[in-house]
Amino acid sequence: MTTAAQTAQSAYEQYDRTTSRWGRITMALGLLLSWAAPVYLIFFTDLRIAQSDLWTGFLAVGAVFWVFWVLEPLTYFPVLGPAAMYQAFMIGNIANKLLPSAVVAQSAINARPGTKRAELAAVMAICGAATVHIFSLLIFVGILGTWLVSVVPEDIRSVTQIYIFPAIIGAVVVQFAVFVKQHRITVIAVVVAVLVQLVLVPNVAALANYATALVVMSTVVLAWVLRDRSAQPVPHPEDRTEHMDVGG
């Protein structure tokens, strides 16, 4: 390993330790702050909430979202990496804002997902996306919000609400599929999604809340079982120690 590579390795290890340490601290503080209002209402006001009601509410929410608590970190991590994961779960709007930003940034610099270069690109992309979001909210919601909504025709507002999210996610899926060049896995994912959404869910309504989880888990299992076992992995330039995936 060359001196430059050793320096890059040392710098990245320090960066990883720092982001991991402060990421945990920040997430813990965010959790405590999110509990502050409910704790105040329960212990310092006249509001009387039975413990059974608290557990009932928690279980009701958990029954719907527990799958996402497990699957979302597993799904996002290969693209975002550890540092960006802390950012993403603190900021929110991962699927429709932060993940597309990270994918576009990685594609722009041809950084293969899972490499250090891709992780750094995801971090910078999320910083940019969050900054744009804040200023957009300040201008288009805080300053122009009421007026802007009043001048937009109702037909356009309704169409936007229905189609803007599928349009964003569809574009990201296509770009990501082209970027990673895993045609077999792409076909498997599309077929599974179509079968679950158009065949399984309409016939078994109880599975509607778990459609995403079913698609993700089924795609992972089928991609592993149906993988091309004869293909040999091709070394990628970013995998070489000399580059350390942090350069241009």
Distance CA 46, CA 218 (A): 49
Q: In the predicted model, is pLDDT for residue 125 greater than 90? A: yes
Residue 23: φ, ψ to 5°: -65, -45
User: Is residue 245 in a domain?
Assistant: no
Can you tell me the distance from the alpha carbon of 49 to that of 36, in angstroms, rounded to the nearest whole number? 16
Question: Would 247 be classed as within a structural domain?
Answer: no
User: How many CA atoms lie within 13 Å of 123's alpha carbon, on the beta-carbon side?
Assistant: 15
Is position 172 within any domain?
A: yes
How far apart CA 179 and CA 173 sit, in angstroms, is: 10
Could you read off the pLDDT of 159-205 as tens digits, one per residue?
776 777 777 777 777 777 776 677 888 888 889 989 998 998 888 88
130 and 170 together in one domain:
yes
CA distance 87 to 4: 29
Measured between alpha carbons, how far is 179 from 191 in angstroms, rounded to an integer?
Answer: 19
107 and 142 in a common domain: yes
Is residue 142 located within the same domain as residue 217?
no
Question: Please, where are the H alpha helices in the chain?
Answer: 3-43, 51-91, 99-108, 116-136, 145-151, 154-180, 183-195, 201-203, 211-225
Averaged pLDDT, 90-113: 86
pLDDT band at 25 (very low <50, low <70, confident <90, very high): very high
115/169 same-domain check: yes
pLDDT value of position 244: 45
User: What is the count of structural domains for the chain?
Assistant: 3
Nearest to 76 by CA among 87, 61, 65: 87
Q: Which domain holds residue 209?
A: 182-231
Looking at 116-125, 171-180, 216-225, 230-239, which range is the least confident one? 230-239
Is the same domain home to 38 and 114? Answer: no
How distant, in Å, are the alpha carbons of 67, 77, 86, 94, 213 from that of 220?
Answer: 15, 14, 24, 20, 11
Q: State the pLDDT confidence band at 154, using cuts at 50, 70 and 90.
A: confident
Task: List, for residues 27-57, the tens digit of each pLDDT value.
Answer: 999 999 988 988 888 888 887 777 788 888 8
pLDDT of res. 22: 92
CB contact at 8 A, 105 and 124: yes
- Does residue 159 sit in the same domain as residue 187? no
In this structure, what DSSP letter does residue 233 have?
P
pLDDT tens per residue across span 49-76: 777 888 888 888 887 777 778 888 888 8
Global model pTM greater than 0.75: no
